[in-house]
């Protein structure tokens, strides 16, 4: 075998590990807040797919506050809280 095969295999393993590590970085942190005797988890880790009015496509939105989402691409807020 040549050195190129060993280098290519090593680079493949390193790249696969990097993709795996980035995927594991999206874990939720457990921060609890007391609100009307209800335990609420941290909202920064929740992602949903919503229709963005600016992008005019289905995009991933990050929850900033309870039921207030922000588009990950254009940063537009989508408020689905009731009045």
Q: What is the DSSP string of the chain?
A: --HHHHHHHHHHHHHHHHHHHHHHTTPPP---EEETTEEE--STT-EEEEEETTTTEEEEEEEEETTEEEETTT--EEE----
pLDDT of res. 8: 92
User: Tokens 């295999």 identify what position?
Assistant: 9
What gap in Å lies between CA 35 and CA 25, rounded to an integer?
28
For residue 12, what pLDDT band results from cuts at 50, 70 and 90? very high
- The mean pLDDT of 44-48, rounded to a whole number, is 74
Residue 63 pLDDT > 70: yes
């Amino acid at each position: 075998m040549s050195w190129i095969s060993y280098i290519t295999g090593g680079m493949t393993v390193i790249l696969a590990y990097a993709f795996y590590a980035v995927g594991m970085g999206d874990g939720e942190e457990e921060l609890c807040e007391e609100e009307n005797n209800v335990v609420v988890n941290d909202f920064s880790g929740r992602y949903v797919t919503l229709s963005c009015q600016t992008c005019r496509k289905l995009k991933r939105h990050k929850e900033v506050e309870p039921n207030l989402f922000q588009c990950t691409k254009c940063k537009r807020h989508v408020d689905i809280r009731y009045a």
